[in-house]
A and B are shown apart, each in its own frame.
Chain A
């Protein structure tokens, strides 16, 4: 599935429309959803899309460190200006959907986008 397909399914708009042609055809391999940074950091697998309701700059940091392919903000939220600036710098596409988290996840799952893996993180000893 490509980022443009994700946008269509989620009725999402890019946060910055100017450079949308660059990322439209990037491949999305899986999806993760969380509002907690440390949960995001326990995810593995580059090429994952991140769904979140968290809009501060640290979400972008997490996405950068984990090589997420893009971030979609749910329930109509817009990222903070510093977050947008950092995302631009790190070439991480941002989207916003009016849908709630549950429906966003449901639609992507129904479209056969698999959950991202956590297999690198083994259960606690």
Chain B
């Protein structure tokens, strides 16, 4: 019911676009520093651990780069990134809308005759779905750069071999696969968090609980959807 109320024609398009751009900035652009830090370290760690664990004379040295790339494209840049972002963005959305609910700001919108669900939730869903693929691309690039950087710093393999590895047997579909998944995950994070925030009853303790519940439920749904989409898109 809430989704039906949320997804509809906005009362005022100008106001919708203003909020939509605001949400892109708040939910997406503001998350870039976190994505850069996490991706850089995860990329470096992947490279390091793969090198340490598959040191076998039968395997070519470029396997490190190749495996790092596959892990990042197939799972980290979309699923794991979205699990991390659900913590930041999900709690942000749930607590913002939840606080508006308990301080009667949502009632004020309803009294004015504004479809509060549409006014508050729609720009968040649209904004996050729009920006998420870009965040995934940033994550992919930064992670691969993290792997490169660890090669330079520790010299575990030479950088040419690493770059050769990440170019070898490249399947473009994996990038599209990650981007498609990220759209679903963006919808899951924004809609579930909005639902928990919008339906909160009580005071600050309930807002905190709603925020936690939103993150937990988003994570479960992301993992479930990940399995389903992998089955559907890869097999």
Determine if chain A interacts with chain B: no
